[in-house]
Amino acid sequence: VYQPITDIQNEQITGFEALSRWSHPERGSISPVEFIALAEETDLIIEVGDLVFSRAIELLSQLPQHVFININVSARQLDDDQFLQRVVDKIKQHGIAPRRLKLEITETMVVDFNKAKQWLVKCREIGFLVCADDFGTGHSGMEQLLELDFDVLKVDQVFVRNMFKDDRYKIIIESIADMAKRLNTKLVAEGVEYEKELQVLQKLGFDFGQGYLFGKPMSEEDAANLF
């Protein structure tokens, strides 16, 4: 399924995040929180990951050129040397510009810093943008953040959710916004559910927003029909 990512300043949908769902014949819809972790324990995540990329790239070929898709990448996919090449082959096949794919990795995935750095350099050479997912909840320091030089920071939902409950969360969001602006990094807010949250994020100069206020995850068909 595909959840809209909205340009926070003009409130137009400009992209999607691909989110996996498993429709099990007996157990119904199984959450990625369950099956992605299981798939990661085996090499199945490689096949699942390839499938997510294939379908997202096919969807991109039906969407206007300015629309992008964000895809979650697992640590094991980073270890697979052939992974990026397979994605490059697929986008060539469909004539898709690489900048229309944004790869999301979490800071907690970065166990081997040098490897992660090499991977990011390779992505940049190809033209893929790389996002730090769940930003603000990881264990990495500021030096790591600077060295990895992400194109986009996706501020974790927890900050938006608590913005009006606890002033300290708002202070952190404001500081992240200031930092991102000065470092020239794009900013996405996750978990935007209420109009009043949107207003604060607009004032803080966020670039993109994602959350139930803008749209829930939807089928490929519905995503294509939005345009």
Instruction: Candidates 98, 191, 202, 224: give the one binding ligand C2E (CB under 6 A).
Output: 191
Q: What is the Cα 180 distance to its own chain's centre?
A: 17
Terminal C-alpha separation, the chain: 16
Q: Under the criterion CB under 5 A, does residue 197 sit at the interface with Ca ion?
A: no
Q: How far is the CB of 25 from Ca ion (least distance, A)?
A: 27
Cβ-contact 98, 128 below 8 angstroms: yes
Torsion region of 33: left, alpha or beta (phi above 0 gives left; psi -120 to 50 gives alpha)? alpha
> Binders of Ca ion among 116-155, rule CB under 5 A?
133-134
Q: Which stretch binds ligand C2E (CB under 6 A): 54-62, 79-87, 115-123, 206-214?
A: 206-214
* Both tokens assigned to 89: 């082959």
Report the nearest approach of Ca ion to the CB of residue 54 (Å): 18
Residue 3 as a binder of ligand C2E (CB under 6 A): the answer is yes
**Burial of residue 68, with CB atoms counted within 10 A of its CB: 0-12 exposed, 13-18 middle, 19 or more buried:** buried
State in angstroms the smallest separation of the CB of 72 from ligand C2E. Answer: 4
CA dist 80 and 48 (Å) reads 13
133 near ligand C2E, rule: CB under 6 A: yes
Tell which one of 4, 15, 209, 211 touches ligand C2E (CB under 6 A). 211
Applying CB under 5 A, which residues contact Ca ion? 72, 104, 133-134
